[in-house]
Structure 1
Amino acid sequence: MKIRRKNKFAAEVATSSLNDIMFFLLLFFLIISTVANPNVIKLMLPKASSSQQLSKKQVTLSVDANKQYFIDKQPVSPENLEAELQSIMAGIQEPTVVVRFDKSLTVQDLVDVLQTGAKLNIKMVMATSK
């Protein structure tokens, strides 16, 4: 007499390589997290009763299509531009001027303004639109 065995196949998920994968992922994230912020030191800073701000003033120099010069919306003649910039930037340690220049003007007009800033050791930044 034949005895039948009931051979049922059970579905199994092989998880033997899953341990290796998890180990490498953990190692990867640990290494990346230490490299991302290597010099960060968390400190509780003391509080002060008064605060002091640095004197970093930003001045806007605009030139329209008619070659009219404006320093912070105040009209300035091209001949007095250097003197006006020098008087405004007198007490500032790192003077910065944002140059807003009309696109219809020539490159030579822009270079003349930038040379004025170079004479006075002023950092000139040109504003553009997107």
Structure 2
Amino acid sequence: MKFERRKRYSALLDIAPLVDVIFLLLLFFMLTSRMVSAPAIVIDLPQSRTAEVQTSSEVIITITDQGELFLGDTPVILDDFVETLRACLQQKDTPVVHLRVDHEVEVGLLVSIVDCVKMSGCASFSIETESE
């Protein structure tokens, strides 16, 4: 009687294709992810204990510590601000404004900007802070 011997299978696993797939997935996610860049206008936001993270905004108004006024990334003169903001808000579906104000800005300037925002017909606005 003749017995057949079973073939011994090697327990080794070739991981080269696995490494290739991992690198391809890594490359895919790196190329398709959205790179988030910091705004070009540098300001020091005031601290807040109750600050909440908000989603991306429609209109961003920035006031630097020197009193420079920006609508998005574009510098704006305070005298023309109401008309410029009104034109910008008419292009948006949901007119929501976010104010990014340096903590060194005078309260009088902030109040005049808030008045301009209200005069431009803005439905709602918020003042951005950063958490402690």
Q: TM-score, normalised by structure 2?
A: 0.52
In structure 1, runs of 5+ residues without a counterpart are: 1-56
2:30 is matched with none
Q: CA RMSD in A?
A: 1.8
In structure 2, runs of 5+ residues without a counterpart are: 1-56
Residues 1:84 and 2:84 aligned together? yes
1:75 is matched with 75
Alignment of 1:49-68 (within 5 A): 58-68=58-68
Q: Distance in 2 between matches of 1:88 and 1:67?
A: 21
TM-superposition CA deviations, 1:29-79 (whole Å, max 9, x none): xxxxxxxxxxxxxxxxxxxxxxxxxxxx71100000111111111111111
Percent same amino acid among aligned pairs? 18
State the shift of 1:121 in Å.
Answer: 2.4
2:48 is matched with none
1:89 is paired with a residue whose SS is helix
TM-superposition CA deviations, 1:70-99 (whole Å, max 9, x none): 111111111111111011111434311110
Alignment of 1:5-44 (within 5 A): none
Larger Rg: 1
Aligned residues: 75
From the superposition, tell whether residues 79 and 126 of structure 1 become closer, same or farther in structure 2 (CA, over 3 Å). Answer: same
> Structure 2: which amino acid aligns with 1:124?
F
Higher relative contact order (CA 8 A, sep 6+): 2
